[in-house]
Structure 1
Amino acid sequence: MNIPTNMPRLKGFRFSREIIAWAVWAYHRFALSTADVEDLLAARGVIVSRETVRLWVNRFGRHFADCIRRDRPQPNDKWHMDEVVIMIRGKKHWLWRAIDANGDVLDILVQSRRNARAARRFFQRLTERFGEPRVVITDKLRSYIKPIKSLAPKADHRAHKGLNNVIEASHRSTRKREKILGRFKSHRQAQRFLSAHDQINLVFRPRRYQLNATSYRHARSDAFSLWSAYTAEMVA
């Protein structure tokens, strides 16, 4: 079974853009390693190495993530922010994540510190991109207090761990992929992978428990249509 191709091949690439896009989609959509994707492509008559798959994911994952960010509607003005520890080469780093009230990931940032300076850097990225929120919900980390007060003085800051369960759940996919990857190898790798992974999963993982079967199939069809459109926009 071969993957159909009807778009112009990318200059300098041996395989068609549909094959490259399929590999990127499969890697991010499912809990797969590059070796898994290599085998799935081989079953479809496409012989590539796992290193080639890794290069495709690194090079084009950002393209799809940028397209998704560009086209998504304005997020809800109620934000949830949280930070979780990740290990990189035996050292603690912190993954800062923000989502809106709908559960859509706004941004992530991998940093080596968990202090007011790190909190300000992350919150400033958010306000520059999305404007000031109406409500910000965080855990009881005091490092959030001054950055939120200075950058979004009108926002209602609610520091309560029990209110932040929705973002705690959003960390699960990161933990799952971290195990598959054998922990992240570098700060750059973690930032690059998670920035793309969260956005791609945003499109292909609608909240199924909130949808009936027909609505879910429509959402899935829309996601595939978007992916095809973004595939056509790929450039070498």
Structure 2
Amino acid sequence: MQRFTPLLVDAARPCRHLPGDRWFVDETYVKVAGRWTYLYRAVDQHGQVIDVLASARRDQAAARRFFTAALSHGRRPVEVTTDKAAVYPRILDELVPEACHVDAARENNRIESDHSRLKARLRPMRGLKRLRSVQTISAGHAFVQNIRRGHYELGIDTDSHARLTAAFTELTLAI
């Protein structure tokens, strides 16, 4: 997992669809070596996971790192929906001043329900020991989830149940 996930994600990058213009951003908690850490995630209006970032702290520097990495994936958002965390308005005004920031109650349900899929995957594991492991596993989970949802031009000629197998077959030829 640690070795091949970054290789597969990099090989598939040219086949990835551009993210939508409405982003839903939130952070969730994950236990690493017995301590709670933060996992920043962003999805667009189509359900494509844009980016993930594991961080030991929930502060302005972590939010800036996350948004800088997420904005490098292509299209800039027109609207960003977040929770009411105090750091988001300042970071969004700095990095994406043209975007409308929405932080109303229950507007961020799309990303909140998307966290449950990742947490369901992490729960049966025996625990993660390093922050790097959380970053790699969550990035790999987002990658597989995006392939299943059809956000890559990989395995699109096959049935949706066999899409993941066909996509990995195409990627092995590319690597």
What are the superposed Cα offsets for residues 179-205 of structure 1, whole Å, 9 maximum, x if unpaired? 221221110111111111211122125
Task: Tell me what 1:180 maps to.
Answer: 124
| 1:148 lines up with 2:92 in the alignment | yes
Moved more, 90-99 or 178-187: 178-187
CA shift, 1:221, in A, is: 4.3
Q: How many pairs are equivalent?
A: 171
Counterparts in 2 of 1:135 and 1:63: CA distance versus 1, 3 Å = same
Alignment of 1:21-32 (within 5 A): none
| 1:97 lines up with 2:97 in the alignment | no
| 1:229 lines up with 2:170 in the alignment | yes
What are the superposed Cα offsets for residues 105-150 of structure 1, whole Å, 9 maximum, x if unpaired? 0000000111222111111111233242100000111110111001
Task: Tell me what 2:20 maps to.
Answer: 76
| 1:219 lines up with 2:163 in the alignment | no
Counterparts in 2 of 1:87 and 1:222: CA distance versus 1, 3 Å = closer
- Separation in 2, partners of 1:221, 1:183: 30
- Separation in 2, partners of 1:64, 1:220: 20
Counterparts in 2 of 1:129 and 1:202: CA distance versus 1, 3 Å = closer
Q: 3-state DSSP class of the match of 1:163?
A: coil
- Separation in 1, partners of 2:164, 2:56: 35
- Separation in 2, partners of 1:190, 1:120: 19
Moved more, 109-118 or 57-66: 57-66
What are the superposed Cα offsets for residues 150-185 of structure 1, whole Å, 9 maximum, x if unpaired? 111110000124011111111112211222212211
**Is the contact between residue 23 and residue 45 of structure 2 (CA under 8 Å) also seen in structure 1?**
yes
CA shift, 1:69, in A, is: 3.1
Unpaired segments of 5 or more residues in structure 2? 151-155
Task: Tell me what 1:202 maps to.
Answer: 146
The structure whose Rg is larger is 1
Structure with higher helix content: 1
- Separation in 2, partners of 1:123, 1:85: 18
- Separation in 2, partners of 1:155, 1:145: 11
Moved more, 221-230 or 145-154: 221-230
Which one of the candidate residues 58, 61, 65 is aligned to 1:117? 61
Tell me the percent identity. 29
- Separation in 2, partners of 1:189, 1:86: 11
- Separation in 1, partners of 2:75, 2:17: 14
- Separation in 1, partners of 2:13, 2:95: 23
Moved more, 107-116 or 57-66: 57-66
Which one of the candidate residues 160, 166, 169 is aligned to 2:104? 160
What's the TM-score once normalised by structure 2's chain length? Answer: 0.88
Counterparts in 2 of 1:178 and 1:224: CA distance versus 1, 3 Å = closer
The residue type paired with residue 78 of structure 2 is R
| 1:133 lines up with 2:77 in the alignment | yes
The residue type paired with residue 194 of structure 1 is S
The residue type paired with residue 167 of structure 2 is L
